[in-house]
Amino acid sequence: MTVLRILVADDLSEEGLEILRRDAEVEVRNGMSEDELRDTLPGFHALIVRSATTVTGPSLENADVLSVIGRAGIGVDNIDVEAASVRGIVVMNTPEAGAVTTGELAIALMMSLARNIPAADASMKAGRWEKNKLLGTELRGQTLGVLGLGRIGRVVADRGRGLKMKVIAHDPFVDADRAPEGVRMVTFDELLRDSDFLSVHVPLTDETRGLIGPDELAKMKSSARIMNGARGGIVNEEALCDALEAGDIAGAALDVFDREPLPDDNRLRLTKNLVLTPHLGASTREAKRNVSLDMARQVITCLKKGVALNGINVPRVPPSQADRVAPFLTLARNLASFLMQVYPGRLRSLRLTLQGKLLLSAKEPLRVAMLAGALGCRADRPVTPVNADRVAEEMGVRHHVETSTLKRDFVNLLRIETLLDDERHFVSGTVLGHRHGRMVELDHFLMDAIPEGPLLVTFHHDEPGVIGRIASLVGSEGLNISRLQLGVPDNGHTSAGALGLLNLSSPIPPEAIEKVLADPGIIAAHSVRL
Ligand code: 3PG
């Protein structure tokens, strides 16, 4: 079995590392440059980073077996997700674990601004007593504007309400009727105009870069204060310094910067009424631990079960269903791959039919799992659920999913139908006891086979002695048969021969396949590796 290797390139808590070490060889190497990362990645199946390591396209160039990049944290702007996706690499983050901590920092920054705490502290340390100069403002009744109502924005809105503030929010992806209780959704201009404290909680994207620049700052009250704990680049730093120096706004607090670490001589360091912290958003003991634990578990689940929880470039598996869906993902991939390995021909189309509530909740993940399984056998590069759609498009393979009642005896059943040149074939499967994948149908044959590992698949005449001879031949090759299934034709196909599926200890070599084919009872034989 392959030994899993994981490269941890930023700070991860010891508890997280322990989880990884139970299933993989772990190497911790902080502070790598792009070149160092590129030279180190070969041979690693997973890479885990926080925000300090930048994962660029060139750094992934030699990543021969990398299948997942885990961002232990929320923001993935330090990862070239597009470059990872082209290579079929899953990118995942931990959106929940640091949300409260990061939201709390925004509140701490707001408090600092309202009561001049950093300035008061610096003044005291400098030997002064400036009580009158450091007059603050009460939060109660003031308007807190939340820009971006995702997980963190919602924490901030909730804490703002606890402080008896009026909370307004702007988020183009949240309808007014989906706003949290007590939060009024407003336009971006209204948010700028009405906020006494404006807290930024949007990701950095092409659309949000420079979202708060000179024009936006000019629309704010001169008494307003801004907090940015999201990402550098969303608030234009030069425009912010200008606005603070001109008194166009009253104060600001930044935890994130265009360039991190913030250069020594940066203008921000000299600007008054500006509180600076060194990207402390997720830096609490609790968040660090939770982020590390979540990421370690997610990476292991992805490597071992193929389920990408919180994958941002793959269809989402509902976390509550992940354990039950995982074996079906493996099944979809394996059954599709099985069809491609047994039947020749140009792959023209794939149809996935799903039966059962559980499978309907995971239509998209199952579709891409099927695509990855099938295309992986025909494409000239690795295909995973991440790049399966692209590869299908490039290869001109049509595909779709439908739901239907296939067989009433099964609660959950999936069926894959394919068109190879002009021949149609199909295979169906289910999962027993929430864990054990079974192939139950291949064209007109019915069976109860395990579609895993190396297999010998035979189509043979349904007559005495054939299976005995095949089994002896396999044995004489030094291969152990762990399970043998015979597929019988279903009603109406009485003269269609028989199907043999032998699970083997290791793949049957081509010479042995030749010997099997030489047996007069054999119609066709294939080595299948799942
Ligand atoms: C995040 O995106 O999770 C925060 O910005 C924290 O980043 P960090 O993991 O580098 O502390």
Q: pLDDT digits over 234-287, tens only? A: 999 999 999 999 999 999 999 999 999 999 999 999 999 999 999 999 999 999
Cα distances (angstroms) measured from residue 135 to each of 113, 120, 229: 11, 10, 25
Q: Which residues neighbour 128 within 8 Å (Cβ) at sequence distance 6 or greater? A: none
The confidence score (pLDDT) of residue 493 equals: 62
- What the block records as the tokens of 69 is 């990049």
For ligand 1, atom 9: residue with the closest CA? 50
Mutate which of 49, 51, 256, 289 for ligand 1? The one with the most ligand atoms within 8 Å of its CB, which is 51
| Span 468-492, average pLDDT | 88
Residue 72 alpha carbon, nearest atom of ligand 1: 9
pLDDT of 494 > 60? The answer is no
Separation of 282 CA from ligand 1 center, angstroms?
A: 5
Centroid of ligand 1 to alpha carbon of 275 (angstroms): 19
- Closest residue by Cα to residue 177 from 205, 199, 149, 207: 149
pLDDT tens-place string over residues 26-55: 999 999 999 999 999 999 999 999 999 999
Alpha-carbon distance of 411 to 407, in angstroms, equals 9
Report the separation in Å between the CA atom of 15 and the middle of ligand 1, taken as the mean of its atom positions.
18
Which residues lie with the beta carbon below 6 Å from any ligand 1 atom? Answer: 50-52, 73-75, 98, 279, 281-283
User: Ligand 1 mean position to 273 CA, how many Å?
Assistant: 25
Contact yes or no for 60/79 (Cβ under 8 A): no
pLDDT of residue 413: 96
What's the confidence (pLDDT) of residue 307? Answer: 85
- Give SS3 for 6: strand
Kindly list the distances between the CA atom of residue 258 and the CA atoms of 101, 204, 241, in Å, as whole numbers in the listed order: 22, 11, 14
Ligand 1 atom, smallest distance to 93 CA: 3
Tens digits of residue pLDDT in 283-318:
999 999 999 999 999 999 999 888 889 999 999 888
Closest atom, ligand 1, to C-alpha of 280? 11
DSSP 335-364: HHHHHHHHS-S-EEEEEEEEESHHHHTTHH
Q: Where are the alpha helices (DSSP H) in 77-205?
A: 81-86, 99-115, 117-125, 151-162, 188-194
**Which band of pLDDT confidence, cut at 50, 70 and 90, is reported for residue 369?**
very high
pLDDT over threshold 60, residue 326: yes
The average confidence (pLDDT) of the chain is 94
Rg of the chain over CA atoms, in angstroms? 29
Active site residues: 231, 260, 279
Closest residue by Cα to atom 11, ligand 1, is 282
For the cut 90, the answer to whether the pLDDT of residue 495 exceeds it is no
419 pairs with which residues across the strands? 349, 424
